[in-house]
Amino acid sequence: MRCPCRKKSETTLYADCCEPYHLGRHSAPTAEKLMRSRYAAFALGKADYLLRTWHAATRPQSVQLTPGEEWVQLRVLAAKEDGDRAKVEFIAKSRRGGRTDTLHETSRFVREDGRWFYVDGAITD
């Protein structure tokens, strides 16, 4: 299976991309790879991974995934790390009930004890 975080034209397999992070075998080595793996987790319905990679200071009690929502495209616009802090700007598209939605976000990440965590994101209209 092609990894959901990659373009449809790419042949990167899920087993070689985000699956090792989802299974806890490895931690994402960069904030961009964590963001990509979180997108894949949304696409594959892995709410537990989303919670595990959310920083404790901003983590919700639970993550509610939208039934019938299909994540169809991810485009990373920019990724910048500055020591143990990072920002990743991306556009993600989802489809539900024949309607396509676009999410344009700049996410903030922090690295603690060698692991990256999602902190929060600013949505651009």
pLDDT score, position 8: 86
Whether residue 4 is contained in a domain is answered as: no
Rounded Cα distance between 17 and 62, Å, is 25
CA distances from 100 to 59, 93, 104 (A): 27, 7, 13
Whether residue 83 is contained in a domain is answered as: yes
**pLDDT, mean over the chain:** 96
- The answer on pLDDT for 14 being more than 90 is yes
Bridge partners for 107 per DSSP: 88, 121
Whether residue 1 is contained in a domain is answered as: no
Q: What is the pLDDT of residues 23-76, one digit of tens each?
A: 999 999 999 999 999 999 999 999 999 999 999 999 999 999 999 999 999 999
Domain of 52 in residue numbering reads as: 14-124
Whether residue 8 is contained in a domain is answered as: no
> Which residue intervals of 23-114 are DSSP H helices?
31-44, 47-52
Whether residue 31 is contained in a domain is answered as: yes
Whether residue 6 is contained in a domain is answered as: no
Tally the domains of the chain: 1
